[in-house]
Amino acid sequence: MKRRQWIIVATLMLAMLALSGCGVPTEGVDVTTVQPNGFWETFVVWPLANILIWLNGILLGWGIPYHWGWAIILFTLMVKLLTFPLNLTQIRGMQAQKELQPRLQELQKKFGKDRERLAQEQMKLYQEAGVNPLSGCLPLLIQMPILFGLYAALVAIGPFLINASFFWIPDLAFPSYAIGMAWIPEAWQAGDYATLVAYLILPVLLVVTQFVMQKWMTPTPTGDSSQAALTQNMTLIMTFFFGWFTLQVPAGLTLYWVTSNVLQMLQQWVVTRYFMRPSTPAVATAGAGNGGSAPVTIDGKADKSEKAEKAAVVPASTTVVAKPASASKQGKGKNKGK
C-alpha cells in the first residue's frame, strides 16, 4: 500500500510540475490560429483545446443550450470510453485484491514481525492469484496528464468560455488562473452569496464523489492498525486536496472531474455486474445440497491449496448435536435391560 501511495503522490507532483511549466498564456490564446510551443502544448494542450472547440461547434450548430458545458461532458465520456480497457483492468484488480484480503490477513499475523518475509509472501500470493497490486495506478497515470492538460486547455481557450453558463454556473471560465482563490473572500465581503453557492457546488460534489469512489473501489487495508489508519488518512487528505485545488481553477475543469467520477462509479457497477464472473469469498463455504465443500476461488479461479481444503465448513442446514457420554451409556444400559 505504501508503494502505491508514493506512486500516486509522485504522479501528482510530476503533473503539477508539468502544469507549472506549460507556458500557456494566462490571458488565453486562439489555438485555432496560433502555433503551439514545445512538446506539452503540441501533443497535449492544443489537441485537447481543439477537440473541445470542435465538440462545442457541433452542439452549437444543433442549437443545444449550454453547449460548452455539454461539450466538456461529451469530452469526458470520450475519455472514459477510450480508457475503458484500462479501467476494466483496474476494477478487476481491485476486486481480486478484496477477495485476497483474508489470506493477506493470515500472512500479516504469521509474518508480521518479519517485514521482508511478509513482503515476499505477499508478492508470492499476488503472483499465484494473478493479481497486480499496482494495477489500480495505471488509469491514474493515464488520466492525470489529461486532467492537467485540460486545465491548460481551458486556460488557453479562456476567451471562448467567458460568460458560457451551464445551468446554475454563470461562467465556466471562472475563477480564472490569475485570481486563484481571491474570489472567495471578495464575494463574501461583497455579500454576493449567490456567486459563492454557484461556484462551490461543484467542488463539494467533487469531494463527495471522490470520497464515495475511493471507499467503494479501494480494498480495505490489512495489517496493523497504524498502517490501515495511514492509508485511510492518505486517501482523505488527497480527497480534500483535490477539493481545495478545484476552488482556484475554472469551473469547466471541475465539471469534467465530477463527471469523470460519476462515470467511473457507473463503470464500476457495470463491470462488476456484467463483466466479472461471480466468485465466492476467499474463505471456502460448504456446497449446497450435497454437503460437499466448494473450492476457494480467487477472482473466479479455484484455489487448491491445503489451507483452502481445510477452510471448508459444515453447511448451515446441518446441525451436529453432541450427546453427553454418560447419557449415551445410560441409554444402552436401559436397552439391554429390556
Q: What does the pLDDT look like over 113-167, one tens digit per residue?
A: 777 887 788 788 878 777 776 665 666 666 677 778 887 888 888 888 888 999 9
CB atoms within 10 A of CB 13: 10
The SS3 assignment for 286 reads: strand
- Return the biggest CA–CA distance within the chain: 111
Mean pLDDT for the stretch of residues 9-25: 55
Rg (C-alpha) for the chain, rounded Å, is 28
Q: From CA 17, how far away is CA 215, in angstroms rounded?
A: 29
Contacts with 225 (C-beta within 8 Å, 6 or more apart), sequence order: none
The CA-based dihedral angle spanning residues 189, 191, 193, 199, taken in that order and rounded to the nearest 10 degrees? -40
Which has the higher per-residue pLDDT, 100 or 138?
A: 100
Question: 198-231, pLDDT tens digit by residue?
Answer: 999 999 999 999 888 877 766 555 555 555 566 6
pLDDT at 119: 79
Question: 251-270 and 137-156 are packed helices; what angle lies between their axes, rounded to 10 degrees?
Answer: 150
Q: Which residue has the cell 453427553?
A: 324
Average the pLDDT over 263-270 and give the result.
Answer: 86
Question: What number is the average pLDDT over the span 91-105?
Answer: 75
CA neighbor of 184 nearest in space, from 200, 170, 161, 173: 200
Instruction: Of 97-101, 190-194, 221-225, 253-257, give the lowest mean pLDDT range.
Output: 221-225
Look at residue 218 in the predicted model and tell me its pLDDT: 61
Q: What is the pLDDT of residue 162?
A: 85
> Is pLDDT above 80 for 327?
no
**Which of 32-36, 161-165, 248-252, 314-318 is the least confident region?**
314-318
- Dihedral-angle region of residue 280 (phi above 0 means left; psi in -120 to 50 means alpha; beta otherwise): beta
Contact 122, 107 (CB under 8 A): yes
| 155 or 315, which is more confident | 155
Q: What DSSP state is assigned to residue 64? A: -
CB-hemisphere CA count at 13 Å for 81?
Answer: 6
Q: Helix, strand or coil for residue 296?
A: strand
The answer on pLDDT for 246 being more than 50 is yes
